[in-house]
Structures are given as structure tokens and as C-alpha cells.
Amino acid sequence: MTTLNQNKWWLAAKSSPVVSLLMFGCAVGAIVVELSYPPPNYLFYNGLQQGQYLRLITPIFLHFGILHLVFNCLWLSLLGSRIEREEGSVHLLLLVAVSAAGSNMAQFNWSGSMYFGGMSGVIYALLGYLWIKHKMAPQSYPPLPNGLMGFMVGWLLLCMTGILEVALGIGVANAAHLSGLVIGLSIGLAFALMGVAQKQ
């Protein structure tokens, strides 16, 4: 039984290497936060500093608590692995990089603070990307699970009310979530339109 489970784990990692590496990065980021709170400033995005472009990306790996890490990794596995299987590893990696940079810049410019992190902006980008591609070409791209888009948009709107900050005392990077969704929808729409044009 142990060997079978290990084989399943290895096959899943092998079929989605970028997703596996991103999840590993998230786990490392969560450990860094746990062991050195607050994390070093060079891991946060603080505007476009010359020669420090990796800081556009690094905040997505910082996770604050086990639930934050687990939920983001679950969504990343569900959405990211689908894109990686259908579009390829390079395609997913570029989508993650663009949505990470865009959502991190949006959150920083909106809040004025560099102290935020998590994969959620990218998760919303992956969600929007998959949703719009299916809507534009349902015969070519499988649908998301029933109700997933409605649930995630509802969660986004709930977070934007500020109720979680009041009730639970936790900060939510709403600008990163919203901008990530818009970025994913925009990129997905562009690729879907190109796909339709190529078939005509």
C-alpha cells in the first residue's frame, strides 16, 4: 500500500512539475515566515527597484499560517495542474509569472504597504483563465467544476467587505485577488480568440 501511494505521488509530481515546484516554494516560504517572523524585507515587493525584479514574484511564496498554505496549494493543484496538462509547463510558468507580478504590483499600489504575500492572486488568475477559455471555446476546453467560479467570486466579494478583518483579525490582499482575476480573464480571452482565429 505504501509503495502504491508513493507511486501515485510521484506520477502526480511528474505530470505537473511546475505545480509541484510552486507548491514546494510555497512550503519553503511558509517555513521562512514561521522561523523568521517578520520575514526579510527583500522577499516582499516594494516597488520596482533596479536589479530586484525577483521581488515582483517572491511574495507569492510567503504564506502566513498552515491554513493559508494548505488552501492555496489545494487550489494551485486543482487549477494549475489542469493548465499544465493542457497547455504545457512553460505556458503555466509564464502565466504564473505575469499574474504574480501584476497582482503584487496592484496590491502594493492599492495598499501602500509591502507586507503581503500568498498565491491567491495567481489562483484567481488561473481561475479566470480557465473559465473564459471554456466560455469562448467549450468544445476545446473542459469546464470548471460546477459552482466553482460562483463560489470564488462570492468569496472575493465577501473579503472585500472587510468582514474577515473585523471578525478574524486577518488581512486580505483584495487588490491582488481582483487584479489576478482580471489578468487571468484577459490572458485567457486573448489566447481563446487566437485559437478561434486559427481554426477559421
Residue 195, pLDDT above cutoff 80: no
Q: Using CA atoms, how far apart are residues 49 and 46, in angstroms rounded to an integer?
A: 7
Task: Confirm whether 177 is a catalytic residue.
Answer: yes
Count of C-beta atoms within a 10 Å radius of residue 185: 19
Number of domains within the chain: 1
Known catalytic residue at 91: no
4-18, 38-52, 54-68 — which is least confidently predicted? Answer: 4-18
Contact (Cβ atoms closer than 8 angstroms) between residue 149 and residue 128: no
Cα–Cα dist 162/35, whole Å: 29
Domain that holds residue 169: 2-199
Catalytic entry in 99, 120, 134, 179 = 120
CATH code of 63's domain? 1.20.1540.10
pTM: 0.88
Q: What is the pLDDT of residues 114-156, one digit of tens each?
A: 999 999 999 999 999 999 999 988 877 788 888 999 999 999 9
Q: Who contacts 50 (Cβ-Cβ below 8 Å, separation ≥6)? A: none
Q: What's the pLDDT band for 1 if we cut at 50, 70, 90?
A: very low
| Residue tagged active-site, from 81, 99, 177, 179 | 177
Reported as a single tens digit per residue, the pLDDT across 28-44 is 999 999 898 778 888 99
**What is the average per-residue pLDDT within 86-91?**
93
